[in-house]
Homo-oligomer: A and B are copies of this chain.
Amino acid sequence: MGGEPAKWVSMVTARTPTNIAVIKYWGKRDETLILPINDSISVTLDPNHLCTTTTVSVSPSFDQDRMWLNGKEISLQGGRFQSCLREIRARAQDVEDEKKGIKIKKEDWQNLHLHIASYNNFPTAAGLASSAAGLACLVFSLAKLMNLKEDNSQLSAIARQGSGSACRSLYGGFVKWIMGKEDNGSDSLAVQLADEKHWDELVIIIAVVSARQKETSSTSGMRDTVETSALIQHRAKEVVPKRIIQMEDAIQKRDFPSFARLACTDSNQFHAVCLDTYPPIFYMNDTSHRQDNQLCREMESCRRNTSDNVQVAYTFDAGPNAVMIARNRKTAALLLQRLLYNFPPQSDTDLDSYIIGDKSILQDAGINDMKDVEGLAPPPEIKDNILIQKSKGDVSYFICTRPGGGPVVLADETQALLNPLTGLPK
Contact = CB atoms under 8 A, between A and B. Distances in A.
A379 interface: no
Contact of A285 (B286, B296, B297): B286
Contacts of A235: 230-231
B293 A278 contact: no
Contact of A231 (B234, B279, B280, B292): B234
Interface in A203-240: 228, 230-231, 234-235, 238-239
A275 B278 contact: no
A173 to B, nearest CB: 27
A61 interface: no
A265 interface: yes
Contacts of A296: 278-280
A269 interface: yes
A264 interface: yes
Contacts of A272: 231, 272-273, 275-276
Contacts of A273: 272
A272 B272 CA distance: 4
Contacts of A230: 235, 238-239, 265, 269
Nearest to A232: B231
B269 A292 contact: no
A292 B280 contact: yes
Contacts of A239: 230-231
Contacts of A285: 286, 289
A238 B232 CA distance: 13
Given A230-B235, A239-B231, A272-B272, A289 B282 contact: yes
A340 to B, nearest CB: 23
A271 interface: yes
A419 interface: no
A10 interface: no
Contacts of A264: 278
21 contacts: A230-B238, A231-B269, A234-B238, A265-B276, A268-B277, A268-B278, A269-B275, A269-B276, A272-B273, A272-B275, A275-B275, A278-B296, A278-B300, A279-B293, A279-B299, A280-B292, A280-B293, A280-B296, A282-B289, A282-B293, A286-B286
Given A282-B293, A286-B286, 12 more contacts: A230-B238, A230-B269, A231-B231, A231-B239, A234-B238, A271-B275, A279-B296, A279-B299, A279-B300, A280-B292, A282-B289, A285-B286
CB-CB nearest 4 A-B residue pairs? A272-B276, A272-B272, A279-B296, A272-B275
